[in-house]
Amino acid sequence: MQVKLLAYTPQPEKTVAAAAKLCYAAADIDTVLEGLTEEKTASFLDMLSSIGHQSPIEHASFTFGIEGVSRSLLAQITRHRIASYSVQSQRYVKEKAFEFVLPPEIEKIPEAKEEFLRAMEEDQRHYENLTAVLQEAHKKELLAAGEDEQSASRKAEKQAIEDARFVLPNACATKMMCTMNARELMNFFAHRCCNRAQWEIRALAVEMLKEVKAVAPHLFQKAGPPCLSGPCPEGKMSCGKAAQVREYYKDL
Query: Exposed/middle/buried for 87, CB within 10 Å: 0-12, 13-18, 19+?
Result: middle
Is 15 annotated to bind a ligand? Reply is no
Query: Exposed/middle/buried for 220, CB within 10 Å: 0-12, 13-18, 19+?
Result: buried
Is 182 annotated to bind a ligand? Reply is yes
CA angle, corner 42, sides to 36 and 48, nearest 5? 105
Is 183 annotated to bind a ligand? Reply is yes
Considering 71, 118, 154, 192, which one is annotated as catalytic? 192
One-letter amino acid identity for 203? A
Is 72 annotated to bind a ligand? Reply is no
Active site residue 71: no
Number of Cβ within 10 Å of residue 1's Cβ equals 14
Is 80 annotated to bind a ligand? Reply is yes
Is 198 annotated to bind a ligand? Reply is no
Is 82 annotated to bind a ligand? Reply is no
Is 79 annotated to bind a ligand? Reply is yes
3-state secondary structure of 174: strand
DSSP bridge pairs for 124: none
Residue numbering of the annotated binding site for dUMP: 76-79, 89-91, 165, 192
Could you list the active site residues?
192
Binding residues for FAD: 55, 79-81, 181-183, 187
